[in-house]
């Protein structure tokens, strides 16, 4: 299965950290950073996000490519919010823009980047199967974790099917446009994707049953809290404590 996951280039320090700690750290960090809005706290958050990506060994170019959709939205906010928010205005060149809007846009941009960088570093580089197993270990309802594991398994199957079908469409000269024909073609494409995907996945399920699959996965990876987890946990707690201190005192 082809994975959309980024390849790490540098030393993958974070990859050796227990996946359960990484999930807990990502959740805790996201919630805390989402709640704060003071510049100092957000600055620490952004630094921590950059550190997470660095420790995961991701190349800067790869990180920028991954964050492109987020940055597009942030750019929109930075351009529009200074004009729409109310309050005192300051002059930038010939324009009078809302000081409050400008601050708000900057805070959101920093916050969004901090959280997404941390998410990318902590979870984006984790094998999805490990993610599922770690969630099972964290007592997520087992049906939900199984659903995640099967979805990951079938993603590749359906993506291949999608590529095959769109290649076939392109060979026949299909060009999407805002018209009825495109809607109908896409509808048939989705129908075909579901029908074929269903058949293929049923065969996978049958093959798994042949090999003794009884509806649940046995957890073979037992993660252990190892030596590297101690500094990781300490750093996470330290960052979160620093953010809480800077925000709420």
Partner 1 sequence: MHIAEAILPNPENPAAGLVILGAGWALTAVGTAIGLRRLDHEQIPRVAVFSAAFFVVSLIHFPIGPVSVHLVLNGLMGLLLGWAAFPALLVALLLQAVLFQYGGLTTLGINTLAMAAPAVACHYLFGPLVRGARPRTALAGAAAAGATGMLLAGLIVAAALLAAGEAFVWLSQLSLAVHAVLAVLEAAVTVAAVHFLRLVRPELLRAPLDAPRRLEVSRG
> Which residues sit opposite 92 in a β-bridge?
95
Using the rule CB under 8 A, which residue among 15, 67, 235, 244 binds partner 1? 67
Write the interaction track for partner 1 spanning residues 219-248; mark x where CB under 8 A is met and - where it is not. Answer: ------------------------------
**Which range of residues in 26-34, 49-57, 224-232, 238-246 is near partner 1 by CB under 8 A?**
26-34
Asked if 127 and 14 touch (Cβ cutoff 8 Å), the reply is: no
Least distance CB 140 / partner 1 (angstroms): 11
Residues 124-153 that bind partner 1 (CB under 8 A): 124, 126, 128, 131, 141, 143-144, 146-148, 150-153
**Which range of residues in 11-19, 52-60, 192-200, 220-228 is near partner 1 by CB under 8 A?**
192-200
Grouping H, G, I as helix, E, B as strand and the rest as coil, residue 97 is strand
Nearer to partner 1, 55 or 102 (CB): 102
Structure-block tokens of residue 172: 């026949």
CA distance readout (Å), 234 to 47, 133, 149, 194: 16, 24, 30, 47
47 belongs to the binding site for partner 1 (CB under 8 A): no
Burial bucket for residue 46 (CB in 10 Å: 0-12, 13-18, 19+): buried
User: What is the size of the binding site for partner 1 (CB under 8 A)?
Assistant: 81
101 belongs to the binding site for partner 1 (CB under 8 A): yes
**Straight-line distance from the first to the last Cα atom of the chain, in angstroms, rounded to the nearest whole number:** 49
Phi, psi of 31 (to 5 degrees): -65, -45
26 belongs to the binding site for partner 1 (CB under 8 A): yes
Nearer to partner 1, 213 or 224 (CB): 213
Cα 231 to Cα 103: distance, rounded to the nearest angstrom: 35
Write the interaction track for partner 1 spanning residues 150-179; mark x where CB under 8 A is met and - where it is not. Answer: xxxxxx-xxx--x-------------xxx-
Beta strands 89-92; 95-98: pairing state: antiparallel
Grouping H, G, I as helix, E, B as strand and the rest as coil, residue 128 is helix
Consecutive H or E run containing 118: helix 99-119
79 belongs to the binding site for partner 1 (CB under 8 A): no
Using the rule CB under 8 A, which residue among 7, 16, 170, 203 binds partner 1? 203
Asked if 142 and 219 touch (Cβ cutoff 8 Å), the reply is: no
**Which range of residues in 49-57, 82-90, 224-232, 236-244 is near partner 1 by CB under 8 A?**
82-90
Least distance CB 213 / partner 1 (angstroms): 10
């Amino acid at each position: 299965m082809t994975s959309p996951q980024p390849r790490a280039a540098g030393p993958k320090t974070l990859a050796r950290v227990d996946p359960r700690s990484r999930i807990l750290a990502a959740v805790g960090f996201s919630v805390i950073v989402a709640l704060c809005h003071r510049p100092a706290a957000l600055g620490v958050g952004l630094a921590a996000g950059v550190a997470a990506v660095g420790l995961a060994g991701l190349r800067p170019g790869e990180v920028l490519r991954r964050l492109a959709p987020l940055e597009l939205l942030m750019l929109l906010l930075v351009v529009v919010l200074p004009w729409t928010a109310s309050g005192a205005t300051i002059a930038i060149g010939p324009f009078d823009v809302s000081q409050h809007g400008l601050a708000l846009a900057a805070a959101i941009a920093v916050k969004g980047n901090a959280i997404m960088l941390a998410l990318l570093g902590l979870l984006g580089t984790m094998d999805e199967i490990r993610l599922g197993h770690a969630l099972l270990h964290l007592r997520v309802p087992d049906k939900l974790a199984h659903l995640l594991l099967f979805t990951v398994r079938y993603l590749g199957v359906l993506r291949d099917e999608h590529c095959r079908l769109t290649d076939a469409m392109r060979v026949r000269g299909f060009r999407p446009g805002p018209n009825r024909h495109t809607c109908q073609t896409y509808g048939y494409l989705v129908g075909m994707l579901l029908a074929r995907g269903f058949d293929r996945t049923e065969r996978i399920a049958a093959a798994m049953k042949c090999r003794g699959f009884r509806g649940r996965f046995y957890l073979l990876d037992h993660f252990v809290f190892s030596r590297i987890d101690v500094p990781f946990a300490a750093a996470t707690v330290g960052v979160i404590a620093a953010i809480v201190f800077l925000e709420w005192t």
